Amino acid sequence: MNGGGFPSSAALPIAGALLALVVVRQLIAWWTQSMQRLPYPPGPKPKPIIGNLFDFPTNDLAMRYHEWGQKYNSNILHAGALGNHIIVLNSLEDAEELLERRASNYSDRLQMPMIELMGFHTNMAIMPYGPLWRRHRRIAQQNFRFDMMSAHEPIQARRIHLMLKGLLDDPDSTFTQHKVLSLSIPLEFMFGYDVNSLDDPFVTDAQESVEIANKYFSPESTLINAFPILGKIPPWVPGAKAQKVAAITRDLLKRLETKPMEMVKKAVDEGNVVVPSVISDFVEVKCGSPEYEEEAEIVGQLALTIYGAASDTIICALDALLYVLVTRPDIQKKAQEEIDRVVGTNRLPEFRDRASLPYTDALYRELLRYYPPTPMAVPHCVRKDDTYKGYFIPKGSIVCPNVWAMSRDEKLYADPHAFKPERFIDENGKLIDDYRVLTYGFGRRICLGKYSASSTLWMTIASLMACFDISKAKDSQGKEISITDDFVYQSITLHKKPFKCVITPRSLTVHRLVEKAIAAEKL
């Protein structure tokens, strides 16, 4: 029995009790539906007792829910099981109305007992809507609003230039360099922590916690989510696998929250801060104040939230970028021609160049439209009963925005199944007024790190195009190795399956320019 397992001798009476609870919950759901006047949104017909338990897709969720929309001729869908209701939003119109205009009712998150048991309930991205979340959000906004982006740029530029050097030194390390870049920027900005290897203890601990969490971030991952009492079973009981996992994760998160904070505080106290960071600035300003202890805990938790959200999203996007550049040399060439014309070949791209490089910016936008790192945005949760378009949406419903379906909406994007950066450029060669990136989410739960992610990804794209030609790898006979179109889900993120490519400096001056930039940043 997954998550709340028991020895076989105890399984039958426990299973009987759980089945009885399921039946009761389903009967309550049926009674509630019979009392309401409006129907649920369209969706698969529920079966007795189990509802739609076996109708939910197990892979390619966004694509399957898009197919549901076509099958049931509706952009808003419903399915239910075990007393829970899932509402899928396949259109931007519905997402904007419910998640933004009605944000006060649609800004909560689904609270799964396993998440709290693992210690992830302090993660702002999945925290319940309320006073604690608002305190986290206030601190995050102070550091990640648009007018603060200039404070991020020196760190972003330095880490991107170090990535370029890594590619020059070891062209076969492309995907490793992407991961180091994605992990190092949030760690340096939040902690002043310098990461140069995936073997760094902080990175390995953080990655282990994320990998464990990914296996338990869905309601059906363990019976503990349906029957929280199972979480009380001690980890040493035979079969209590989920409880053992939760204990490991709690220890990892506690270590990740406290050790970096202690390290930074010690550096501040001793006057040894090498790289200023969000936490070192906080300690210098707040240490000794009455609110220090409470806010220090929040800042530490927020740092892990930023790390987890930023690193995986950027990794997904950069891997998809390489795939696009390798399989679409015409796009690569067009971006390089624009950069050569505007930036030239005697310096590297800078953040101030962005306004003068519309095609490169359009490539960034199209990348996240066509390959959204989160095809299904993090689900929202309804705080009280609501009605919409003649449908009933009950309190506690899990609302899932289908970003992939929205990005394929012909009403929003002409020829949506084609990868065309030009769609974001008008007849005068200027960027059109469409800055929204759907993968960053909706309403009050929109990603607060979206400006930082945007500038990081844009600068990385521009820098790669300025410095390298990226092409398909060849086999021993000199034939190009084909690349599949396959992507794979890892929890809620979409990753390109590994493939081989060749990355080559565009000129002999690239080495000199990169070394010069790194040397200047050490001053």
The tokens for 172 are 């076969």
The DSSP-derived string for 133-162 is HHHHHHHHHHHHSGGGHHHHHHHHHHHHHH
Q: What is the CA radius of gyration of the chain?
A: 25
User: Tell me, what amino acid is at 325?
Assistant: L
Which residue has 């794209």 as its token pair?
A: 461
Q: What is the C-alpha separation between 262 and 283, in angstroms, rounded?
A: 10
Q: Which SS3 state, helix, strand or coil, does residue 472 take?
A: strand
* Residue 400 annotated as part of some ligand binding site: no
**Cα dist from 208 to 115, 198, 308, 382, whole Å:** 15, 12, 11, 31
Q: Exposed, middle or buried: residue 177 (CB in 10 Å: 0-12, 13-18, 19+)? A: buried
Which residue has 């397992």 as its token pair?
A: 5
User: Tell me, what amino acid is at 257?
Assistant: E
- φ, ψ of residue 236 in degrees (nearest 5): -80, -10
Q: Exposed, middle or buried: residue 109 (CB in 10 Å: 0-12, 13-18, 19+)? A: buried
CB 95 within 8 A of CB 103: no
Nearest in space to 501 (alpha carbons), one of 479, 475, 472, 480:
472
Q: Exposed, middle or buried: residue 199 (CB in 10 Å: 0-12, 13-18, 19+)? A: exposed
The tokens for 189 are 């900005």
User: Tell me, what amino acid is at 362?
Assistant: A
Q: What is the C-alpha separation between 328 and 318, in angstroms, rounded?
A: 15
Contacts of 14 (CB under 8 A, 6+ apart): 6
For the chain, first and last CA: distance in Å? 59
- SS3 assignment for 293-346: HHHHHHHHHHHHHHHHHHHHHHHHHHHHHHHHHHHCHHHHHHHHHHHHHHCCCC
- Helix runs in 36-173, H state only: 61-71, 92-95, 103-106, 113-118, 131-144, 149-169
Residue numbers in the known binding site for heme are 447
Residue numbers in the known binding site are 447
